Structure 1
Amino acid sequence: MTTTSTLTDGILYLTLNGDLIGSPDTQQLVASVNEYLGDAVTSCAVDLSSIRYINSTGIGVLVSLLTKFRSRGGEMVLINPADHPRKMLALTKLNNIFIVAADAATARQQLLTAAS
Structure 2
Amino acid sequence: MKVKYTVKKEDDFLIMTISGDLIGDEVGPKLVEVISDAIQENFKKCIIDLSNVRYISSSGIGVLITMLTKMRNVDGEVYLTSPSEHVKKLLIITKLNNIFSVFGSVEEAKENVA
1:84-95 equivalences under 5 Å are 84-95=86-97
**Which of 67, 70, 90 is 1:68 aligned to?**
70
Equivalent AA in structure 2 for residue 79 of structure 1:
T
Could you tell me which runs of 5 or more consecutive residues in structure 2 were left unpaired when the two chains were aligned: none
How many residues align? The count is 112
1:70-109 equivalences under 5 Å are 70-109=72-111
Q: Which residue of 1 aligns with 2:12?
A: 10
Could you tell me which runs of 5 or more consecutive residues in structure 1 were left unpaired when the two chains were aligned: none
Q: TM-score, normalised by structure 1?
A: 0.91
Q: TM-score, normalised by structure 2?
A: 0.93
Q: CA RMSD in A?
A: 1.0
Aligned-pair CA distance for 1:82: 1.1
Q: Which residue of 2 aligns with 1:49?
A: 51
Aligned-pair CA distance for 1:62: 0.8
CA distance in 2, matches of 1:111, 1:63: 19
CA distance in 2, matches of 1:25, 1:69: 18
CA distance in 2, matches of 1:22, 1:105: 26
Runs of at least 4 residues off by over 4 Å: none
